[in-house]
Amino acid sequence: MKLIHHLSFVAALATSASSIAASVNFHQFSYEGNDQVFATPLKAKEYRNPILAGFYPDPSITRAGDDYYLVNSSFSYQPGVPIFHSKDLVTWKSLGHVLTTPAQLPLKNQQTSRGIYAPTIRHHKGVFYMITTLVDVRGNFLVTATNPAGPWSEPILLPDIGGIDPDIFFDDDGKAYIAHNDGPIGEPLYNGHRAIWLWEFDPNTKSVVKNSGRVIVNGGTDLSKKPIWIEGPHIYKINGWYYLLCAEGGTGMDHSAVIFRSKSLSEPFVPYENNPILTQRDLPAERSNPITTAGHADLVQTKEGDWWAVFLATRAYDKKYYNTGRETFLLPVTWKDGWPVILERGKDIPYQLKAPAINATTPAPDKLSGNFSWQDNFSKKALGFEWVSLRSGDSPFYQLTQAGIELQALTIKLDSLAQPAFLGRRQQHTHFNASTEFEMPAQQTSAGIVALQSETAHYYFGVKPGAKGLEIFIEQANKKSPKVIYHKRVKDLAQPINLRIEGNAGKIHFSYKNSQGKYKYVLKNADAKMLSTEVAGGFVGTLLGIHARAE
């Protein structure tokens, strides 16, 4: 039986412990999303927001000729930094991931919301550059490729660059620069007081010019008002002006995008008097189907000459809760007196609007927005881009077979900072159902389906053999160690076993397929808000997937 991985991470040698672990064979995994906001049909030449639904935050975009490329933060999931290709800006095709090897992405013992922060992608003279931060492990680094589908280079470390959210900018005089978030000079004046720094970068030696760093924005748009968390910088040169686009206000409801400009990189950057150029924080919380937390944007000019912005935002229920994480949205940019504006203050981000005037279509785009059904029978030679695992481990924990996929039942639980035997795909809808089919676990082994936001916020709906027959259970982690909230011996489980999770905004339901082929609920209306960012914290969205464990 050939071992096939879509992650070269797990091509490490198997340890003796994992080589004797029992395994569970999963035959399929199904997902279906059905959100009312996606139900309205698109009119001719319209597109739908978000363009990437689910946990695809901190988008960065670049154009190379007629092609657009977009990357997102991946935090402590691997492979890292998903990358997409588009011809029309609205439909996208996965190219896989940028960081796919242990050397590129060491993630041992990382909390879910650590890892990779805010990548920037740029194309310059036939080379693609991706620069990002691996917090707690490496700091800031960049990788390069001539083909955005890879392979990408080994990491080029940037030890002089502190903080997070680096951007790389290539000026038309041949010089290059890195902008990033870091602390201000001296002690911060208040909590959230940060600064944007700028360094010269030598593209030939791929190193930072020593002692070239200086602060170009202190605090934000107006230091006297104590702005917080200025970050996510991007620099552009447009019509003789240098523009600096940043996120400000933190990643919650006060999030925004703000703009500065200067005639020279050696002169001060002046903020736009009508900042922010994107936010939803001034809108009433009780509005229907609210899009919230908008900010962290990047700009791109089409070949036709129009400007567009990609940015993160969230689709909330009950005013402020979202389990789908921060998603990627797209809006046109208008220019007012030489300043780019993504959205006028007081306006809602639209779910449907006129598409970019681009006479091209993306070949065979992936299902990344709108309502859709998706199923994986694990019949291909490698796992699809949708599947990710937590952190990096010392040994393989899965293999694709003719019958599906086998997961080794490791002793590692989902609340551990080691790598559990878990594969997940993003929850992309507020209303969804997900199910999996698998063979009976061996003695002292459990297997099932998972809804996971983090090591401290998740559900594990599983089956395990007991002394008196099969036992079905639901394990919940809610800011504490996991505990069993439902447990029962059952005699009417269908074979193979089929377990299902259904999400309905802040409620979640669990059922199994019985021997008559009908789903039977074991728990309805459990708390799903505990999987939301508002309750669970962090920067990620919920993943749905499969798990096996030695008991």
Bond prior to 290 in cis (omega within 30° of 0): no
pLDDT for res 467: 85
Bond prior to 276 in cis (omega within 30° of 0): yes
Q: CA 219 from chain center: how many Å?
A: 27
Whole-Å CA distances, 507 to 89, 105, 281, 486, 534: 34, 35, 26, 16, 15
Name which residue leads in pLDDT, 18 or 502: 502
Let me know how long the chain is. Answer: 551
The whole-number average pLDDT for the span 276-301 is: 97
C-alpha 212/C-alpha 380 separation (Å) is 50
Closest of 57, 543, 550 to residue 293, by C-alpha: 57
DSSP for 255-283 reads -EEEEEEESSTTSPPEEPTT--SEE-TTS
Which helix (H) or strand (E) element contains residue 17?
helix 16-19
pLDDT for res 8: 36
Whole-Å CA distances, 394 to 18, 25, 230, 398, 469: 10, 21, 37, 13, 34
The whole-number average pLDDT for the span 244-270 is: 97
C-alpha 118/C-alpha 121 separation (Å) is 10
Which of 18-22, 99-103, 190-194, 232-236 has the weakest average pLDDT? 18-22
Percent pLDDT > 70 in the chain is 96
The whole-number average pLDDT for the span 194-223 is: 97
Report whether 212 contacts 175 (CB < 8 A): no
pLDDT for res 392: 86
Whole-Å CA distances, 190 to 88, 150, 183, 194, 229: 43, 43, 11, 9, 11
Identify any residues that bridge with 334 across adjacent strands, giving them in sequence order. 341
The domain defined by 54-354 carries CATH number 2.115.10.20: yes
C-alpha 3/C-alpha 110 separation (Å) is 26
Closest of 429, 448, 432, 444 to residue 513, by C-alpha: 448
C-alpha 456/C-alpha 68 separation (Å) is 37
Side by side, the strands of the sheet bearing 327-332 are: 291-301, 307-315, 327-332
Question: What are the pLDDT digits (tens) for 151-166?
Answer: 999 999 999 999 999 9
Residues 6+ apart with CB under 8 A from 40: 351, 352
Kindly list the domain boundaries of the chain, sorted by start residue.
8-30+371-550, 54-354
Question: What are the pLDDT digits (tens) for 88-129?
Answer: 999 999 999 999 998 999 999 999 999 999 999 999 999 999
Question: What are the pLDDT digits (tens) for 497-534?
Answer: 999 999 999 999 999 999 999 999 999 999 999 999 99
Which helix (H) or strand (E) element contains residue 19?
helix 16-19
Report whether 350 contacts 315 (CB < 8 A): no
Q: What angle do CA 180, 185, 190 make, to 5 degrees?
A: 95
C-alpha 539/C-alpha 520 separation (Å) is 34
Question: What are the pLDDT digits (tens) for 376-388?
Answer: 999 999 999 999 9
pLDDT for res 9: 31
pLDDT band at 394 (very low <50, low <70, confident <90, very high): low
pLDDT band at 3 (very low <50, low <70, confident <90, very high): very low
E strands within 249-358? 256-262, 270-271, 278-279, 291-301, 307-315, 327-332, 334-336, 339-341, 352-354
pLDDT for res 468: 85
Q: Following CA atoms 435, 441, 447, 449 in sequence, which dihedral angle do they give, to the nearest 10 degrees?
A: 0
Report whether 117 contacts 140 (CB < 8 A): no
Which helix (H) or strand (E) element contains residue 536?
helix 533-536
C-alpha 123/C-alpha 64 separation (Å) is 6
Q: What is the pTM of this model?
A: 0.95
C-alpha 390/C-alpha 418 separation (Å) is 8
Identify any residues that bridge with 61 across adjacent strands, giving them in sequence order. 70
pLDDT for res 20: 55
Catalytic residue list: 58, 231
Report whether 244 contacts 260 (CB < 8 A): yes
Question: What are the pLDDT digits (tens) for 401-441?
Answer: 999 999 999 999 999 999 999 999 999 999 999 999 999 99
pLDDT for res 11: 37
Question: What are the pLDDT digits (tens) for 470-491?
Answer: 999 999 999 999 999 999 999 9
pLDDT for res 52: 98
Question: What residue type is 215 in one-letter code?
Answer: V
Q: What is the CATH number of domain 8-30+371-550?
A: 2.60.120.200
Which helix (H) or strand (E) element contains residue 521?
strand 519-527
Question: What are the pLDDT digits (tens) for 302-340?
Answer: 999 999 999 999 999 999 999 999 999 999 999 999 999
Question: What residue type is 85 in one-letter code?
Answer: H
pLDDT for res 396: 82
pLDDT for res 12: 32
Q: What angle do CA 8, 126, 116 make, to 5 degrees?
A: 40
Query: How does DSSP classify residue 112?
Result: T
Residue 222: phi and psi, rounded to 5, are: -155, 100
Q: Is the pLDDT of residue 53 over 50?
A: yes
